[in-house]
Amino acid sequence: MITEKYDVIVVGTGFASSFFLSRFLARAPAGARVLVLERGEKRPHRWQLEDGRSGRRLMQREARASFVNASPEKVWAFLLGHGGSSNCWFGNTPRMLPEDFRMRSLYGVGEDWPVGYEELEEYYCDVEEAMAIAGPSNDSPFPRSRPYPQPPHRLSDVDRLFKRAFPGAFFPLPSARPTVATSRRPVCCANGVCMLCPIDSKFTVENELFHVYEDPRVTLRYGATVQQVEVEGGRTATGVRFLEAEAERTVKGDMVVLGANAFFNPHILLRSGLSHPELGTGLVEQAAKIVRVDLDGVDNFQGSTIATGHGYMLYGGEHRRERAAALIETSNRPDLRNGRGKWRQVVLLRVVYEDLRQRENTVTVDPDDPRRPRVTFTGHSDYAQRGFDALPSELERLLAPLPVERILVPSQPVDTESHILGTTPMGNDPARSVVDRHLLHHQVRNLVVLGGSVFPTAAPANPTLTLSALAVRAADHVTGKAAA
């Protein structure tokens, strides 16, 4: 049995845990003792490249084996190991809009977040600087107090047509793929294979936050699968139990920080006896359709990265009372037409819709193998479906500025947006939320829960920047450096 005592025990090494630790260590005393437990292994970028598809398939198999999918028709995408899904993300980093935090107040649907855009704005800036985000500082849909660290990527000719037609609703896409080389990362190569960047250009935990795990105050253990938080009197976390080489071990700590994803955070809490009506319910992710538009006389793919434009033409507004908002992403990855002289006269639009938490979409403890979460997903909400239903008619207006030859709208959404959200929601009311506005568990006040599981809504924007900013804010709070 492990008997050491730590000041903080952190579960996971993905975006949320790593950004929390980065800020926590900057504030913590020199003698602080931190234990990090990572269930996966360290698979460096070089290893992933050398193993190629076989290595990637191994990591995907490990992820699929880590949970029981009770709805096998639903695909979930994430990776285990050092850095978590920073090893496979694409690096698109929009902020949420101010209205996304006030859905109930403004539109009568979903929930209001217990924090607002204004409270999170400085932390958005901090994370953008750490990731070296390339974005449009002077032409952005987000209120900003600081410029983006890097200039935006180059738009395609198709993007420029959209920008001319919708100047206040179409912008260069903010990206963790640099336009200017950093000390560790080269300029994006625009090869369109971002899941495993061949030149290690996009931000990952390994290439930019490696120093967190080299800090002498940090002890990192791989192959450590946390099973539960030890809770004394239902009020105080005293440590965690985890599996290491099939043996159960226990370690003590003054604070426990759960930074796993929205499958594993609720699973650990449920196994800890911390039942709650909202715990493990409301599993949600955005839903997207990829629209193919064949053009007549306009070539595409002049941009400088995989996705170049962000359209907000279907995002904000009163329609959100009735149907889901959508964020439009223009693809710059070559997907050529089969037509002489028209190879590049095509654009793919990824139209990403928000969705609402639904109680029937759940994460529970699998009865046959309690060491794994059981995931049930019955489908997207009617709210999202009404967004899908409106898309064909809305495309007529959106595509009017382009010389369109043909529009192909798929009948079904893509199988996953790779964003797992909503199973330990944050809120001010302990009866209706699992964690508070600082991501502290309402009942166990030395237990912090990070990551996408705390999202009370699933806005159209990619969630990584927001969950990372929330983690930095939580670190400021527990170290006494943040406003109440």
Confidence of residue 56 (pLDDT cuts 50, 70, 90): confident
Percent of the chain with pLDDT over 70: 99
What value does the mean pLDDT take over residues 469-473? Answer: 98
Task: Write down the pLDDT at residue 57.
Answer: 86
Task: Write down the pLDDT at residue 50.
Answer: 87
pLDDT digits (tens, 9 = 90+) for 262-283: 999 999 999 999 999 999 999 9
Task: Write down the pLDDT at residue 128.
Answer: 98
Give just the sign of the alpha carbon dihedral 116, 119, 121, 126. negative
Percent of the chain with pLDDT over 90: 94
Calpha distance 384→382 (Å, rounded): 5
pLDDT digits (tens, 9 = 90+) for 330-366: 999 989 999 889 999 999 999 999 999 999 999 999 9
């890097």: which residue's tokens?
Answer: 150
pLDDT at 52 over 80: no
pLDDT digits (tens, 9 = 90+) for 4-36: 799 999 999 999 999 999 999 999 999 999 999
Is 5-151+173-285+358-378+417-478 assigned to CATH 3.50.50.60? yes
- The mean pLDDT value of the chain amounts to 96
Report strand pairing: 68-69 vs 373-376. parallel
The structure's pTM equals 0.97
pLDDT digits (tens, 9 = 90+) for 196-220: 999 999 999 999 999 999 999 999 9
The answer to whether the CB of 185 falls within 8 A of the CB of 207 is yes
Residue 75 vs residues 116, 209, 262, 286, 311: alpha-carbon distances, Å? 32, 29, 15, 13, 26
Instruction: Say which range, 161-165, 193-197, 435-439, 463-467, has the weakest mean pLDDT.
Output: 193-197
Residue 328's closest CA among 82, 6, 11, 92? 92
pLDDT digits (tens, 9 = 90+) for 426-435: 999 999 999 9
Calpha distance 179→234 (Å, rounded): 50
pLDDT at 131 over 60: yes
**Domain ranges within the chain, ordered by starting residue:** 5-151+173-285+358-378+417-478
